Chain A
C-alpha cells in the first residue's frame, strides 16, 4: 500500500512539473485545444508506461520530444480546421467586455499568422526555446545538429517578430 501511495505522489509531482507546460506548447504548436490535449496526454502516458527515468528536466525533454513527434505525425492541424477554430473558438465563456474580447482575438490571430509564417521545424524550435529548453535539448527534439540551433533559432525569432509587428529587424 505504501508503494502505491508513493507512486501516486510521484505521479502527481511529475505530472504537475511537466504537463501544464507541455499542453501549452502543444496548443501553441497546433492552435487546437483537442489536438493539444490529445498529444500532450499521449506523451505523458508514454512517459509513464515506458518507465522513463531520470531527473525532471530529462523527463520533460523526453515528453516534449515525444509530443513534438506526435504533433508532426498525427496532430498537425490543417488550415481549414484552423480557420474554423478561429471563427468559432472552442474556449470557456469569458465575462469580459466585447471590445476586450475582440482585441484578444485579434492579438491571437496575429500571433497565429506570424507563427505559421515559420516552417514547422522553426515553430517547434522557437516554442521550445520559450519554454526554457537548452540548445542541446532542442536539437534532440527536432533532429537538427546542436551547432545549428543558435543560428536557426535567431532567424526563427526574427521572422516571427517581423511577422508579428511588421518591423524590419536589423540584428
Chain B
C-alpha cells in the first residue's frame, strides 16, 4: 500500500462517520468506487467503530439522575428557596383545594369524580400498541413502565428476577425510544443506554428502537437477544417470531 495512491486513515474515518469536508467526500467516494483495497479498509474501520463503541460502553455505569438534577438546580438557583411565608401560603392553598376537591368528588355524578377516575385510569392502563392483539393478555393487564430516549447505541435492556414462565414480548419500534412495560408492582431503573426492570409476575413487553445498534436484551443473567451491525442473534427461548419482534417465554424452573 502506498500513501500516495490510497486514501489515508483520517479521510477513511471521516468518510465512515459522514464528517468529511464536501471536497474530500467527493474525492474519497470517487476513489472508493474504483479501489477494492480502500473499500476493504473502510469495512474494517466500520468493524473497528463497533468494537471501540462496545469497549467504551463497558466502562459505563448507572447514575442517579434525579439527585443530580436536584443538586444542579440547587447550585444554579440558590436564591429561589421559598420563604416560610410563601410556603405556608402554598400549603394553605393546597389544603383548601384538596378539601374542595374531595367534597366535590364525593358527590354522585360529579365531574371532579369523573376527572379523577380518568387520571387514575390513564396512569395504570397499558400503553396501547399497534400490535396489542399480538401481545395477548399483556395488553389487557394493568401495566406500568419506563421509557428511555436512546438516539444511538449501545442499548442494554436487563430483566432480573423474572418469574418462570413469563412471556416477554419484544417489539421493534420506530424512533429512538426504548421501553419496558410490565405489570403493576414492577420496579424499574434507567441510565444512559441502559434500562433495567424487576418485573412483577405477568407478561412483559420490551420495545427496542429498530435503528439502534448494538442492542442487547438480558434476562436473568442470560443474553436472549443481541442486535449488531452484523445482524440479529436470538438465543433465548423463542415462542414465536415475526418481522416486528420476538416473543420469549422464560423456562419453568
Q: List chain A positions with a Cβ less than 8 A from chain B.
A: 4, 11-12, 15, 19-21, 23-24, 27-28, 31, 33, 36-37, 40-42, 44-45, 47-49, 91-92, 95-97, 100, 104, 107-108, 110-112, 114-115, 126-127, 129-130, 132, 134-135, 150-151, 153-155, 157-158, 160-161, 164-165, 169-171
Q: Are B59 and A108 in contact (CB under 8 A)?
A: yes
Contacts of B48 in A (CB 8 A): 157-158, 161, 169, 171
Closest chain A residue to B20, Cβ basis: A150
Q: Which of B49, B58, B80 contacts A111 (CB 8 A)?
A: B58
Q: Which of A41, A115, A154 contacts B10 (CB 8 A)?
A: A154
Q: Are A161 and B191 in contact (CB under 8 A)?
A: no
Binds A, one of B71-79, B94-102, B104-112: B71-79
Given the known A-B contacts A95-B161, A157-B13, A158-B9, are A31 and B71 also in contact in the complex, defined by CB atoms under 8 Å? no
Does more than half of chain A's interface fall in helix, strand or loop, or is it mixed? helix
Q: Are A164 and B55 in contact (CB under 8 A)?
A: yes
Asked if B134 lies at the interface with its beta carbon under 8 angstroms from chain A, I say no
Given the known A-B contacts A33-B61, A111-B59, A134-B19, are A44 and B221 also in contact in the complex, defined by CB atoms under 8 Å? no
Given the known A-B contacts A111-B55, A157-B48, are A37 and B68 also in contact in the complex, defined by CB atoms under 8 Å? yes
Q: Are B72 and A19 in contact (CB under 8 A)?
A: yes
Q: List chain B positions with a Cβ less than 8 A from chain A.
A: 1, 9-14, 17, 19, 41, 44-45, 48-49, 51-53, 55-56, 58-63, 65, 68-69, 71-73, 75-77, 80, 151-152, 160-161, 191-193, 198, 221
Give 11 new A-B contacts, CB below 8 A, not counting A132-B152, A154-B12, A171-B44: A11-B76, A20-B191, A21-B192, A27-B61, A36-B63, A37-B63, A40-B68, A48-B72, A127-B56, A130-B53, A153-B13
Q: Are B59 and A31 in contact (CB under 8 A)?
A: yes
Q: Are B59 and A12 in contact (CB under 8 A)?
A: no
A72 to B197, CA, bound (A): 36
